[in-house]
Amino acid sequence: MKLRTSPTSPYARKCAVVAMECGLSDRVEPVPTNAFAADTDLGKDNPLGKVPCLITDGGEALFDSPVICEYLDSLHDGVKLFPASGGTRWAQLRLQALGDGILDAAVAKRVETVMRPEDKRWPGWIERQDAAIRRALDLLEQECGGWGSDFLIGQITVACALGYLDLRFKDDDWRRTRPALAGWYATAEVRPSVAASAPKD
């Protein structure tokens, strides 16, 4: 399999962590791809023009990260990162959505603050993304004490989201008012799959 990826994409990092947690790293060849390059051919695999995009051994292109992660999880016989059914499945999918939502808001904020020309920036839009991130982090602060030692798709996504906030918005200091989440992340970030996939800017 080939994974079209970028060294700083938190969504691609999710896939790399999942591949490692599932013991599939040897079967997934990373293909560095700059989604924003004018001459990229990414659109032929993913019409949405985004990384990550997984090319399966059968030549099918899969996107986006939740789909790729669940596909990788279907390829091994160990503990499943996506519980098959019941309340634990919905809890994990909900947590994945929360982590992906933090990422969506953080990426939107980065586009607005770094990529968009200064005279075209919209402060109200940035504040809207900040508010979504704050609320989501506050919810994680309340809930993370109940996760125990679980490191399934929900926790993987949250770890990638927190890593991205550290990479791009260090000054926002999400840890200051969220000691429980900070404590959880301190344990998560040294896990081999998370440490090995740390973003390289």
Ligand X SMILES: N[C@@H](CCC(=O)N[C@@H](CS)C(=O)NCC(=O)O)C(=O)O
Counting contacts by CB under 6 A, is residue 178 touching ligand X? no
Residues 11-70 that bind ligand X (CB under 6 A): 11, 35, 49-52, 64-65
Whichever of 50 and 109 has its CB closer to ligand X, that residue is: 50
Counting contacts by CB under 6 A, is residue 83 touching ligand X? no
Q: What is the DSSP letter of 151?
A: -
Minimum CB distance to ligand X, residue 145 (Å): 27
Minimum CB distance to ligand X, residue 100 (Å): 6
Counting contacts by CB under 6 A, is residue 82 touching ligand X? no
Q: Which of 1, 3, 4, 9 binds ligand X (CB under 6 A)?
A: 9
- From residue 126, give the alpha-carbon distance in Å to each of 103, 108, 132: 14, 8, 10
Whichever of 52 and 83 has its CB closer to ligand X, that residue is: 52
* Phi, psi for 131 (deg, rounded to 5): -65, -40
Minimum CB distance to ligand X, residue 184 (Å): 22
Amino acid at 148: G
Whichever of 21 and 100 has its CB closer to ligand X, that residue is: 100
Order the strands of the 2-5 sheet from edge to edge.
29-32, 2-5, 53-55, 61-62
**Rounded Cα gap, residues 49 and 62, in angstroms:** 12
Counting contacts by CB under 6 A, is residue 129 touching ligand X? no
* Contact indicator for 28, 69 with CB cutoff of 8 Å: no
| Size of interface with ligand X, in residues (CB under 6 A) | 11
Minimum CB distance to ligand X, residue 66 (Å): 6
**Rounded Cα gap, residues 13 and 124, in angstroms:** 29
The helix (run of H) or strand (run of E) holding residue 13 is: helix 10-21
Minimum CB distance to ligand X, residue 111 (Å): 8
Closest to 72 in 3D by CA, of 12, 155, 159: 12
- From residue 131, give the alpha-carbon distance in Å to each of 121, 122, 135: 17, 15, 6
Whichever of 3 and 181 has its CB closer to ligand X, that residue is: 3
Interaction site with ligand X (CB under 6 A): 9, 11, 35, 49-52, 64-65, 100, 107
